[in-house]
């Protein structure tokens, strides 16, 4: 037994203790105090009294797991998923969805206040959508477990590198969430069952794509079995032997992966390794909200940074004079151009550029912009704040997947460059998880 495992066993051998939960952390754990020290308790909610056991002892706080709820909070609900206590895919199924949303909104506003030192003039109404079967993009782990004589397919266990033993997933698109056992049985029958570490899920409106990462070539029999499975369930299957460039469809004429933005009469095609927003319903709302917040008019010239496949760019082009999309991944830029042509859009231009570097030599920076939309990664876009101000942009829309970096960047625009934070709010892109997606809009002070 290793030292870490021995330490954990010693912790678990300690007698259970009772603690009153006072708050909820941003990642969804209950926060209480024992002997003056903060304890983060998995599975506990504010206002509850719980019995729990230690899972970790740290310098500034301890960690524990609930084993019995002695006094339940009114917001507590029964988790829908049978695997909730084990699987790390969700953290908040035991909390009423309205309370989940309030938690996320509070987390956003706290970040703006404490990190950005700014408050929005208006808290935007949260965007909500389906609570179940919403997730169309995911990475599923795959593991052949020789001792069990079977394959596991799903997400990791909480705070563990081990795969959870899942039979179905309630938040995955039902076209895959209800197929986990069937997928496991398929892989068990393959000659390379121990050489498939993961499956990338990429769901279009009509067709669901599954991209199998393979560390060894499948046999001819394997290919027949895979294709039969895809045909039986209406799936587009892909094999990936190396990097993204190695992805190949199983079919000679692959099924098309695409999604619609009906309010803008758009249909966007993508590949299984491309980034698309996880939640189709929320994405449609978000694209519409972005145009409203930016107040796009027919004479406006708009810049969309981190544009990806053109999700926002092409929709904004329906309402603006011209839209320029910029993305760091050159292959995504080519697909954005392809989507523009596919939808008959001639007033959108796309460029590849490192948006964290020097942009002074980039041709697209000339001419000025009325509005800018940003949808950066978790690291944010701090390097772009001075440039946005230098362009004289009147309105800035910021879509964020991390409240802390949003708050930091917004604070920079407000305190250093004289913008006003007109509004900010959350969108429930990931129900039952602690992940917070948000949107903000700023106006240059005249």
Q: Which residues are part of the catalytic machinery?
A: 401
Rounded to 5 degrees, φ, ψ at 174 are -55, -25
- Reading the block at residue 283, the tokens are 């994405």
Integer Cα distance of 28 and 23 in angstroms:
10
Residues in the chain: 446
Integer Cα distance of 72 and 418 in angstroms:
47
Q: Residue 71 pairs with which residues in a beta bridge? A: 49
> Which residue in the block uniquely carries the two structure tokens 């678990």?
12
Rounded to 5 degrees, φ, ψ at 333 are -60, -40
């Amino acid at each position: 037994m290793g030292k870490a495992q021995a330490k954990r066993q010693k912790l678990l051998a300690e007698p259970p203790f009772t603690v009153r939960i006072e708050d909820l952390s941003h990642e969804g754990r209950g926060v209480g105090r024992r002997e003056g020290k903060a304890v983060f308790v998995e599975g506990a909610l504010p206002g509850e009294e719980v019995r729990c056991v230690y899972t970790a002892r740290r310098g500034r706080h301890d960690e524990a797991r609930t084993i019995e709820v002695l006094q339940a909070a009114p917001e507590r609900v029964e988790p829908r998923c049978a695997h909730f206590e084990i699987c790390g895919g969700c953290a908040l199924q035991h909390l009423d969805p309205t309370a989940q949303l309030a938690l996320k909104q509070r987390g956003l506003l706290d970040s703006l206040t404490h990190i950005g030192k700014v408050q929005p003039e208006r808290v935007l109404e949260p965007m909500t959508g389906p609570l179940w079967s919403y997730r169309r993009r995911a990475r599923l782990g795959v593991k052949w477990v020789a001792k069990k004589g079977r394959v596991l397919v799903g997400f990791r266990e909480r705070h563990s590198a081990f795969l959870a033993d899942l039979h179905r997933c309630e938040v995955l698109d039902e076209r895959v969430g209800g197929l986990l056992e069937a997928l496991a049985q398929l892989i068990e029958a393959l000659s390379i069952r121990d050489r498939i570490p993961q499956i990338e899920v990429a769901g279009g409106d009509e067709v669901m794509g599954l991209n199998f990462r393979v560390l060894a070539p499948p046999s001819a029999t394997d290919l027949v079995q895979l294709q039969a499975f895809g045909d039986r369930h209406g799936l587009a299957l892909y094999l990936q032997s190396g990097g993204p460039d190695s992805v190949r469809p199983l079919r000679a004429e692959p099924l098309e992966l695409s999604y619609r933005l009906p309010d803008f009469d758009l249909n966007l095609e993508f590949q299984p390794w491309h980034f698309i927003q996880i939640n189709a319903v929320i994405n449609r709302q978000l694209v519409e909200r972005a145009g409203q917040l930016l107040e796009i008019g027919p004479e406006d010239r708009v810049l969309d940074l981190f544009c990806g496949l053109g999700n926002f760019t092409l929709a904004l082009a329906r309402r603006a004079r011209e839209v320029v999309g910029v993305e760091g991944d050159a292959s995504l830029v080519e697909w954005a151009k392809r989507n523009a042509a596919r939808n008959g859009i001639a007033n959108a231009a796309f460029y590849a550029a490192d948006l964290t570097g020097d942009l002074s030599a980039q041709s697209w920076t000339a001419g000025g912009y009325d509005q800018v939309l940003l949808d950066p990664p978790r690291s944010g876009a701090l390097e772009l704040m001075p440039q946005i101000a230098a362009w004289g942009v009147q309105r800035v829309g910021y879509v964020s997947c991390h409240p802390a970096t949003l708050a930091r960047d917004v604070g920079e625009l407000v305190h250093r460059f004289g913008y006003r934070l007109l509004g900010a709010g959350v969108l429930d892109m990931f129900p039952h998880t602690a992940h917070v997606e948000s949107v903000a809009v700023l106006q240059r002070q005249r």
